[in-house]
Amino acid sequence: MADSKVSIRVHELKTAISERAEVKAADVLREAYNILLADPRELVGYIVHCCRHCYGEDHRYQRTTFEFEADKRQHEAAVSKGESQGDFDQMGGVGYDERLVPNQSCPVCFGRGVGRVVIADTRNVSKQAAALYAGVKQTKDGLEVKLHSKVDVMDKLFRHFGLYEADNKQKTSDLEGLPRELLQAMVQRLKALNDQR
């Protein structure tokens, strides 16, 4: 260290390491903030739609156009082979669309509809949802979507920002690499969440 060239080089390397660490700290905080803001319903949800009888004629079973045509062709083929007789049963007609809400006057589902779990295509989610997403696992009961714990992230951010009384003496100098607007938004959001606890 007595050599000025060595001393200068050591100082340069320490500065570069320090700058890289600050960028990484800012990136980690951004990622934690994204997890905190993420809506898990963007990744997995439970939707309720109309049942097959909700909008069928006289609340009879309703088919989609494709199903109706396929069933009609199958019936005609069976009649031509002598395997079936009579007219094709149109049941509740054509036009089933599971995107419709349940019909409150449906005597079959009583307006409750049919529910199912929907898992999002993770290639098309927001960066907040992508940060929350921890993978998917095949279980004996089907797919399990794994998420990072928002509570753990919130706890770490609370500690980092000194929002717990015991932690109020900590320093936040490693936040200097973050844009001021992001810091203000994070602090406001975390204080609001802390007030709700």
- Give phi and psi for 23, each to the nearest 5: -65, -45
Give the pLDDT confidence of 80-107 residue by residue, as tens digits: 999 988 999 999 999 999 999 999 999 9
Give the pLDDT confidence of 16-27 residue by residue, as tens digits: 665 665 557 677
- DSSP collapsed to 3 states, the chain: CCCHHHHHHHHHHHHHHHHHHHHHHHHHHHHHHHHHHCCHHHCEEEEEECCCCCCCHHHCCCECHHHHHHHHHHHHHHHHCCCCCCCCCCCCCECCCCCCCCCCCCCCCCCCCEEEEEECCHHHCCHHHHHHEEEEEEECCEEEEEECCHHHHHHHHHHHHCCCHHHCCCCCHHHCCCCHHHHHHHHHHHHHHHHHC
Give the pLDDT confidence of 31-83 residue by residue, as tens digits: 888 998 899 999 999 999 999 999 999 999 999 999 999 999 999 999 999 99
- Give phi and psi for 136, each to the nearest 5: -135, 145
Residues 6+ apart with CB under 8 A from 88: 71, 72, 75, 76
Q: Residue 9: which pLDDT band, with cuts at 50, 70 and 90?
A: confident
What's the confidence (pLDDT) of residue 43? 95
What's the confidence (pLDDT) of residue 160? 77
Give the pLDDT confidence of 119-178 residue by residue, as tens digits: 999 999 999 999 999 999 999 998 999 999 998 988 888 877 777 765 455 555 555 555
**All structural domains of the chain with their residue ranges:** 27-43+120-196, 47-117
Does 193 or 71 have the greater pLDDT score? 71
What's the confidence (pLDDT) of residue 51? 98
Does 197 or 2 have the greater pLDDT score? 2
What's the confidence (pLDDT) of residue 3? 75
What's the confidence (pLDDT) of residue 167? 47
